[in-house]
Amino acid sequence: MGQAKVVIVGGGVGGTFVANLLAKQNDRLEVTVVDATGVHHYQPGLLYVPFGWERPERLRHDERRLLHPAVQLLQAPVERIDVDARQLRLPDGGMLPYDFLVIATGSCPVPDEIPGLAEGSHHFYTEPAAVRLREALHRFEGGRLIVGIAGFPYKCPPAPLEFTLLLDDWLRRRGLRKRTELVFVTPLPQVFSLPSVAPLFEELFADKGIKVETFFNTERVDPERRRLVSLEGTELDYDLLVLIPPHQGSPLIRASYLGDRGGWVPTEKFTLQVKGQERLFALGDATDLPVSKSGAAAHFQAPILAQNLLRLIAGQEPDARYDGSVMCLVETGNGKATLLRFNYEQPPQPPRPSLWFRWLKTLLNRLYPALVPKGIALGEFLTLLQGKFARTEPFCGSALMEQWSQKLGE
């Protein structure tokens, strides 16, 4: 094969990392990222927007600036993937051919799946929604505030817990906590899906006086009466409601007949190839892999996918194996965080919350725009950090941030 054409659909964390890794490792490839807007949104930062602790404009990045110079960027929506013809159909009637395709189309919240949810509830999973929630919170003067999970799946599973604990902090700072009944609702039998993690957050919730309603499957929201109704028959009145909507895969996947009913791409769990399609790969939220839908998962998947794709181009069998690794730093309130690291075989064993993990999460959020163009994924970054600063006092945060900013600028 001559110069192979690799097309990546989606300019989020997964697609951008894969593109940069391919460009770094093989300068003979023709790599193109196709993205509808050309704007890269740092979604983990949306968690802080409702509290006024982050500005939305700081979370938007020019995708072109995040990509390796050798990677081409095509700003255009894709209407359909034609697998048989190996080409993408574009809105103007044009076609973009490819030799190999990477699907990194992410996921999106679908509040309309539950009656009344869009009209009667808030969430923070998109920029407009996070801004509307910020406005609602700043009007809030007390009452019953319900936070929870309206349906599955949804991306970044710990985020509702993080939001609830940060909300408790925010209410206390504003002198509203004593006037607020804070309630967390979930369809699960515990506050989190992983049994090894749930006890830590149940303890944190109990310490902060956050009430928990388990086995609460949201049936509908009544915006006029401000009432949340479950399939089990429980009805809860509220003054402010924050429910995470269920998510679906990209409409492009369904239009291309590449996914299941939810729009998730059937993906081989080790090689990250699309099942039944040797020349197609997928990663991140778009897949049906049995791991959390999160940028943290895509960080670990991207190097595996890039390695397997390069081997396939070279006429070799893909032999790199994704072991299901995910690692994320989780806010726990009071200026602390914990770490969740797990894979297909090993469940997470979260350590006690600490200032160190909170500092590390802040560092990652700050340095993300510098890590991406260099193709430095989360696992690699933490390994480098451990080696470079193993004997450094972790709480001289600003100094270490400056050192890392200089290192990444080299």
Residues 330 and 273 in one domain: no
Q: Are residues 236 and 254 in the same domain?
A: no
**Domain edge (last residue) among 261, 291, 313:** 313
The answer to whether position 95 is within a domain reads yes
Q: Rounded mean pLDDT of the chain?
A: 92
Among the candidates 194, 226, 247, a domain finishes at 247
Same domain, 119 and 194: yes
Query: Does pTM top 0.85 for this prediction?
Result: yes
- Say yes or no: 128 and 223 in one domain: yes
Do 155 and 238 lie in one domain? The reply is yes
Same-domain check for residues 57 and 83:
yes
In a domain, 319, yes or no: no
Is the pLDDT at 407 greater than 50, yes or no? no
pLDDT given at position 397: 43
Quote the CA–CA distance of 235 and 227 in Å, as a whole number.
Answer: 7
Closest to 281 (Cα-Cα) out of 295, 292, 266: 266
Structure tokens at 36: 């509808």
Q: Is residue 239 in some structural domain? A: yes
Is 10 within the bounds of a domain? yes
Same domain as 17, residue 100:
yes
Q: What pLDDT is stored for residue 399 in this prediction?
A: 46
pLDDT band of residue 392 (cuts 50, 70, 90) is very low
What is the arithmetic mean of pLDDT over 176-194?
98
Residue 93 pLDDT class (50, 70, 90 cuts): confident
From 291, 313, 335, give the residue that closes a domain.
313
Q: Do residue 94 and residue 121 come from a single domain?
A: no
405 has a pLDDT exceeding 70: no
- pLDDT tens for 230-267 read 999 999 999 999 999 999 999 999 999 999 999 999 99
Whether residue 9 contacts residue 252, with contact meaning beta carbons closer than 8 Å, is answered with yes
Give me the phi and psi of 381, to 5 degrees please: -60, -45
Q: Are residues 243 and 259 in the same domain?
A: no
**Mean predicted confidence (pLDDT) in 282-298:** 96
pLDDT of residue 139: 98
- Same domain (yes/no): 125, 238: yes
Q: Is the pLDDT of residue 390 over 90?
A: no
Residues 338 and 394 grouped into a single domain:
yes
Report the alpha-carbon distance of residue 236 to residue 241 in Å, rounded: 10
94, 88 Cβ separation under 8 angstroms: no
Q: What is the DSSP string of 260-291?
A: -TT--B-B-TTT-BBTT-TTEEE-GGGB--SS
DSSP character at residue 113: G
Judged against a pLDDT cut of 90, whether residue 396 lies above it is answered with no
Which of 312-326, 353-367, 377-391 is predicted least confidently? 377-391
Same domain, 90 and 27: yes
Residue 294 lies in a domain: yes
- Average the pLDDT over 286-307 and give the result: 95
Domain membership of residue 321 (yes or no) is no
- Among 219, 113, 178, residue whose Cα is nearest residue 227: 219
Q: Where does residue 75 fall: left (phi above 0), alpha (psi -120 to 50 degrees), or beta otherwise?
A: beta
Is 340 inside a domain boundary? Answer: yes
Residue 320 lies in a domain: no
pLDDT over 80 at 111, yes or no: yes
Total domains present in the chain: 3
What is the CATH classification number for the domain harbouring 167? 3.50.50.60
Domain hosting residue 123, numbered range: 110-247
Q: What pLDDT score was predicted for residue 375?
A: 76
Beta bridge partners of residue 248, listed in sequence order: 108
Query: For tokens 């181009």, what's the residue?
Result: 313
Angle in degrees, 0-180, between the axes of helices 159-173 and 198-207, rounded to the nearest 10: 20
Distance of CA 179 to the CA centre of its chain: 33
